[in-house]
């Protein structure tokens, strides 16, 4: 098929991505499917923290307030005017319906007003695309080995500067030019999803394992809540676990011996709860050292489960590349262990800012949809459940 980008005679292809599936309002401009020109993320963490989790009504209201300023900022940061944009892309689902609606309606309005083509993006597929992104200078934003701590800003922030500040010694961590090729195994670990996906070729996904109950990020958030550590639990546990003894408690590794590729984290969360109950809730809460040991032990169990299943899937499908994506992929120990344990496998993990929800991955994936002419109509509706293979 004739390449539509070439056929249209674009010097560059600029795509604008919009992401509002959960509690981040994000817009980004990406050039030619991989160069991030801007990636603005307004996090709502502060609004939800006192509830210990995302409150859907608060999330959608905050998206409404933030979407236009974030959109304007993304265009300004990229120094690209709206008329230069060739494609508009928005996360259609899965996610919180009230949150998704804000992004989808904004994208439809933009498409209607400008006549530019609209692309509907699957949220999981966009996470799986994140390893392909790089910055405008052509340096890789992919960190292949150890990572610096991740962090979320409660303000509208420029990930480009966040990236710089979290990667002062980036040469130690990144391998410029490390590129992912098809096919690869994706380990998707986020707050809402944990799955193993074989990406056979652009836009062809095969889900080969899923969590049967809680997602990995959900388990982090619930354990943090149980221990009164705050929200979101992942980055907090990541930080505390650095000084904990991961062998202090031997928590169960659910389904690790099951031959299939499915995951389960609910039993692990219950085991942590039981341990705290038996030890004495008050005693645990008073003992910061014990808390560090508990979260380090919990984290070791999560990582063991994830990497064991990933190893099994790599062998089963004869793959030698693993991309770890989604919010939990920002976890320092997961990153370090994946690299250490999976010898002979190219383990590719996006920079932390590209692991958590962001619109650059949406704008980047738009390129593949543009090439495949997967254009959406203005009757498009947000879908809380939007299967990856649809
Ligand atoms: O991908 P994401 O931003 O949103 C969803 O699509 O769900 O993932 C959010 C999840 C939260 O559960 C959060 O606690 C977790 O990712 N997370 C982490 C870390 N940073 C974020 N989990 C472990 N370690 C981290 N450093
Ligand atoms: Zn996500």
pLDDT, position 185: 98
Q: Is the peptide bond before 183 cis (omega within 30 degrees of 0)?
A: yes
Of how many residues is the chain composed? 390
pLDDT, position 144: 38
Rounded Cα gap, residues 272 and 279, in angstroms: 11
Report residue 5's pLDDT band, with 50, 70 and 90 as the boundaries.
low
Instruction: Tell which atom from ligand 1 comes closest to the C-alpha of 23.
Output: 4
Contact 385, 94 (CB under 8 A): yes
CA of 336 to the centre of ligand 1 (A): 17
10 Å Cβ neighbour count for 14? Answer: 23
pLDDT, position 142: 39
CA of 380 to the centre of ligand 1 (A): 28
CA of 9 to the centre of ligand 1 (A): 40
Average pLDDT over residues 13-20: 97
- The tally of CA atoms less than 13 A away on the side-chain side of residue 38 is 26
Average pLDDT over residues 318-338: 96
Residue 106, pLDDT > 80, answer yes
- Poorest-pLDDT segment among 27-36, 47-56, 74-83: 47-56
Phi-psi region of 206 (alpha: psi -120 to 50; beta: other; left: phi over 0): beta
Rounded Cα gap, residues 55 and 330, in angstroms: 23
Longest dimension (CA), the chain: 68
pLDDT, position 222: 95
Report residue 389's pLDDT band, with 50, 70 and 90 as the boundaries.
confident
pLDDT, position 140: 38
Q: From atom 7 of ligand 1, which residue's Cα is the shortest distance away?
A: 191
Residue 160, pLDDT > 70, answer no
Task: Pull the structure tokens for residue 183.
Answer: 């096919």
Does ligand 1 have an atom closer than 6 angstroms to the CB of 327?
yes
For the chain, give the mean pLDDT: 88
Which H, E and C letters describe the chain, residue by residue?
CCCHHHHCCCCCCEEEEEECCCCEEEEEEEECCCEEEEEEEEECHHHHHCCCCCCHHHHHHHHHHHHHHHHHHHHHHHCCCHHHCCEEEEEEECCCHHHHHHHHHHHHHHHHHHCCCEEEEEHHHHHHHHHHCEECCCCECEECCCCCCCCCCCCCECHHHHHHHHCCCHHHHECCCCCCCCCEEEEEECCCCEEEEEEEECCEEEEEEEECCCCHHHHHHHHHHHCCCCCCHHHHHHHHHCCCCCCCCCCCCCCCCCCCCCECCHHHHHHHHHHHHHHCHHHHHHCHHHHHHHHHHHHHHHHHHHHHHHHHHHHHCCCCEEEEECHHHHCHHHHHHHHHHCCCCEEEEECHHHHCCCCHHHHHHHHHHHHCCCCECCCCCCCCCCCCCC
- Poorest-pLDDT segment among 181-195, 219-233, 241-255, 342-356: 342-356
Percent of all residues in the chain with a pLDDT value above 90, rounded to a whole number: 79
* Choice from 186, 227, 234 to test ligand 1 binding pocket (greatest atom count within 8 A of CB): 234
pLDDT per residue over 113-137, tens digit each? 999 999 999 999 999 999 999 854 4
Question: CA separation (Å) from 233 to 130, 268, 374?
Answer: 23, 15, 37
CA of 299 to the centre of ligand 2 (A): 20
pLDDT, position 52: 84
Rounded Cα gap, residues 304 and 233, in angstroms: 19
Does ligand 1 have an atom closer than 6 angstroms to the CB of 214?
no
Report residue 67's pLDDT band, with 50, 70 and 90 as the boundaries.
very high
Does ligand 1 have an atom closer than 6 angstroms to the CB of 235?
yes
Average pLDDT over residues 131-151: 47
pLDDT, position 121: 98
10 Å Cβ neighbour count for 253? Answer: 17
CA of 191 to the centre of ligand 2 (A): 7
pLDDT, position 4: 63
Does ligand 1 have an atom closer than 6 angstroms to the CB of 220?
yes
pLDDT, position 343: 84
Average pLDDT over residues 300-310: 98
* 37 phi and psi angles, rounded to 5 deg: -90, -30
Q: Can you give the C-alpha Rg of the chain in angstroms?
A: 20
Q: From atom 3 of ligand 1, which residue's Cα is the shortest distance away?
A: 356
Question: Does residue 172 or residue 99 have the better pLDDT?
Answer: 99
pLDDT, position 151: 36
Residue 274 CB partners (closer than 8 Å, separation 6+): none
pLDDT, position 152: 35
Report residue 6's pLDDT band, with 50, 70 and 90 as the boundaries.
low
* Choice from 356, 385, 386 to test ligand 1 binding pocket (greatest atom count within 8 A of CB): 356
CA of 130 to the centre of ligand 2 (A): 11
Instruction: Tell which atom from ligand 1 comes closest to the C-alpha of 24.
Output: 3
Q: From atom 16 of ligand 1, which residue's Cα is the shortest distance away?
A: 327
* Choice from 96, 190, 237, 302 to test ligand 1 binding pocket (greatest atom count within 8 A of CB): 190
Report residue 384's pLDDT band, with 50, 70 and 90 as the boundaries.
very high
Report residue 179's pLDDT band, with 50, 70 and 90 as the boundaries.
confident
pLDDT, position 8: 64
Report residue 50's pLDDT band, with 50, 70 and 90 as the boundaries.
confident
* Choice from 122, 220, 352 to test ligand 1 binding pocket (greatest atom count within 8 A of CB): 220
Report residue 11's pLDDT band, with 50, 70 and 90 as the boundaries.
confident
Average pLDDT over residues 148-161: 32
Does ligand 1 have an atom closer than 6 angstroms to the CB of 364?
no
Q: From atom 8 of ligand 1, which residue's Cα is the shortest distance away?
A: 327
Rounded Cα gap, residues 70 and 63, in angstroms: 10
Does ligand 1 have an atom closer than 6 angstroms to the CB of 23?
no
């Amino acid at each position: 098929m004739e390449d539509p980008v070439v056929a249209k005679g674009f010097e560059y292809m600029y795509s604008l991505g919009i992401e509002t599936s959960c509690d981040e309002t994000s817009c980004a401009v990406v050039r030619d499917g991989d160069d991030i020109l801007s990636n603005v993320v307004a996090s709502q963490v502060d609004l939800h923290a006192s509830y210990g989790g995302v409150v859907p009504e608060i999330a959608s209201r905050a998206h409404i307030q933030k979407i236009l300023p974030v959109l304007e900022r993304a265009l300004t940061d990229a120094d690209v005017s709206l008329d230069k944009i060739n494609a508009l892309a928005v996360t259609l689902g899965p996610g919180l319906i009230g949150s998704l609606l804000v992004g989808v309606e904004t994208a439809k309005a933009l498409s209607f007003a400008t006549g530019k083509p609209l692309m509907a993006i699957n949220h999981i597929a966009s996470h799986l695309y994140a390893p392909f992104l790089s910055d405008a200078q052509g340096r890789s934003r992919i960190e292949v080995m150890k990572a610096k701590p991740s962090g979320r800003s409660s303000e509208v922030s420029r990930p480009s500067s966040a990236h710089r500040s979290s990667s002062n010694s980036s040469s130690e961590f990144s391998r410029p030019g490390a590129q992912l090729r098809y096919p690869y195994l994706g380990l998707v670990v986020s707050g809402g999803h944990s799955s193993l996906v074989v990406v056979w070729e652009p836009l062809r996904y095969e889900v080969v394992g899923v969590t049967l109950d809680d997602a990995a990020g959900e388990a982090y958030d619930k354990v943090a809540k149980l221990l009164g550590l705050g929200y979101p639990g992942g980055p907090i546990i990541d930080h505390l676990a650095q000084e904990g003894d991961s062998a202090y408690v031997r928590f169960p590794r659910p389904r690790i011996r099951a031959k299939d590729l499915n995951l389960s984290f609910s039993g692990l969360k219950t085991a942590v709860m039981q341990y705290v109950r038996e030890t004495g809730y008050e005693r645990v809460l008073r003992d910061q050292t014990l808390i560090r040991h508990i979260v380090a032990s919990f984290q070791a169990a999560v990582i063991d489960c994830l990497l064991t299943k990933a190893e099994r899937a790599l062998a089963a499908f004869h793959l030698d590349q693993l991309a770890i994506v989604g919010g939990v992929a920002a976890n320092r120990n997961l990153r370090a262990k994946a690299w250490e344990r999976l010898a002979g496998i190219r383990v590719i993990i996006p920079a932390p800012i590209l692991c958590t929800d962001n619109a650059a991955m949406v704008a980047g994936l738009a390129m593949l949809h543009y090439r495949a002419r997967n254009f959406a109509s203005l009757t498009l509706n947000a879908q809380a459940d939007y299967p990856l293979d649809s």
